[in-house]
Structure 1
Amino acid sequence: MVGRKKKPKIWVKVSHEEDKISQLPEHLISEILYHLSTKDAVRTSLLSTKWRYLWQSVPGLDLVSYKFSSFDAFVSFVESYFGFHRESWIRKLRLRFDYSQGMRDISSWIDAVSTRRIQHLDVNYRGYDKTPLSIYTCETLVHLRLCGADLPNAEFVSLPCLKIMHLEDIICSEGTTLEKLISGSPVLEDLTIIRSSYTYYDRKAIQVRSHTLKRIDINEGIHVVIDAPLLQCLRTDMYSIKNFRIITLGFPSKLDIDMQLMHLYLRPNESVIRDILTDISRVRDLVISRNTWKEIFLYSQSRPVLQFRNLSRLNVRFDIFDLEMLPTLLESCTKLESLVLELFKDQSMRRHEEKREMNVMFSAVPRCLVSSLKFVELKRSIPRYEGEIELIRYLLKNSRMLQKLSLNVYYKKKAKRDFLIELDAMPKCSSACEVLVL
Structure 2
Amino acid sequence: MEQTVGSPSKKRRTRTKVDRIGGLPDSLLLHILSFLPAKEAVATSLISRRWRPLWLSLPSLDLNLEGFQSLPFFHRFVDKMLKLVDLKSVKKFVLEIHSSNFKPRDCFRPLKISKWINAMISNKVEHLELQLILFYGEFELPPSVFITNNIRVLKLSGVTVGTLSHVHLPLLEVLHLRSVRFPEFQSLKMLLSASASLKELVLKFWFSVHDYNPLNIGRLDHLVSADVPQSLFPSAAFSNVTFLRLDQHYCTQGIWPLSDDIPMFYNCTHLECVAGSWKPF
TM-score with structure 1 setting the length? 0.53
Determine if contact 2:88/2:124 at 8 Å carries over to the other structure. Answer: no
Deviation at 1:173, TM superposition (A): 1.5
1:91 is matched with 91
Which structure 2 residue ranges, 5 or more long, are not aligned?
A: 1-9
Distance 1:151 1:175 in 2: 10
Deviation at 1:11, TM superposition (A): 4.7
Determine if contact 1:146/1:168 at 8 Å carries over to the other structure. Answer: yes
1:143 is matched with 153
Deviation at 1:88, TM superposition (A): 2.4
Percent identity of the aligned residues?
A: 26
Determine if contact 2:215/2:232 at 8 Å carries over to the other structure. Answer: yes
Structure 1 residues 123 and 250: alpha-carbon distance in aligned structure 2, compared to 1, 3 A threshold: same
Determine if contact 1:89/1:117 at 8 Å carries over to the other structure. Answer: no
- Structure 1, residues 347-380: CA drift from partner, whole Å, max 9, x if none? xxxxxxxxxxxxxxxxxxxxxxxxxxxxxxxxxx
Matches within 5 A, 1:170-319: 170-196=180-206, 202-209=211-218, 210-219=220-229, 223-226=232-235, 227-238=237-248, 241-242=255-256, 247-251=262-266, 252-260=268-276, 267-269=277-279, 271=280
Aligned residues: 254
Deviation at 1:107, TM superposition (A): 1.0
1:21 is matched with 21
Determine if contact 2:181/2:205 at 8 Å carries over to the other structure. Answer: no
Deviation at 1:79, TM superposition (A): 0.8
Structure 1 residues 107 and 200: alpha-carbon distance in aligned structure 2, compared to 1, 3 A threshold: farther
1:263 is matched with none
Determine if contact 2:127/2:153 at 8 Å carries over to the other structure. Answer: yes
SS in 2 for 1:79: helix
Structure 1 residues 29 and 75: alpha-carbon distance in aligned structure 2, compared to 1, 3 A threshold: same
Deviation at 1:48, TM superposition (A): 1.2
Distance 2:238 2:83 in 1: 43
Deviation at 1:113, TM superposition (A): 0.8
Distance 2:49 2:76 in 1: 24
Letter in 1 for 2:214: A
Deviation at 1:249, TM superposition (A): 4.3
Structure 1 residues 20 and 241: alpha-carbon distance in aligned structure 2, compared to 1, 3 A threshold: same
Determine if contact 1:224/1:243 at 8 Å carries over to the other structure. Answer: no
Letter in 2 for 1:112: A
Letter in 2 for 1:194: K
Greater length-normalized contact order (CA 8 Å, ≥ 6 residues apart): 2
Structure 1 residues 122 and 87: alpha-carbon distance in aligned structure 2, compared to 1, 3 A threshold: closer
Whichever of the two has the greater Rg, that structure is 1
Determine if contact 2:217/2:233 at 8 Å carries over to the other structure. Answer: yes
SS in 1 for 2:155: strand
Q: 2:126 aligns with which of 110, 119, 124?
A: 119
Determine if contact 1:217/1:235 at 8 Å carries over to the other structure. Answer: yes
Deviation at 1:253, TM superposition (A): 3.1
2:164 is matched with 154
Deviation at 1:10, TM superposition (A): 10
Letter in 1 for 2:234: V
Distance 1:40 1:244 in 2: 52
Which structure 1 residue ranges, 5 or more long, are not aligned?
A: 1-8, 261-266, 273-438
Structure 1 residues 37 and 66: alpha-carbon distance in aligned structure 2, compared to 1, 3 A threshold: closer
Distance 1:142 1:200 in 2: 31
Deviation at 1:195, TM superposition (A): 1.1
- 1:75 and 2:75 aligned: yes
Determine if contact 2:37/2:64 at 8 Å carries over to the other structure. Answer: no
Deviation at 1:86, TM superposition (A): 6.0
Distance 2:189 2:183 in 1: 12
Determine if contact 1:173/1:201 at 8 Å carries over to the other structure. Answer: no
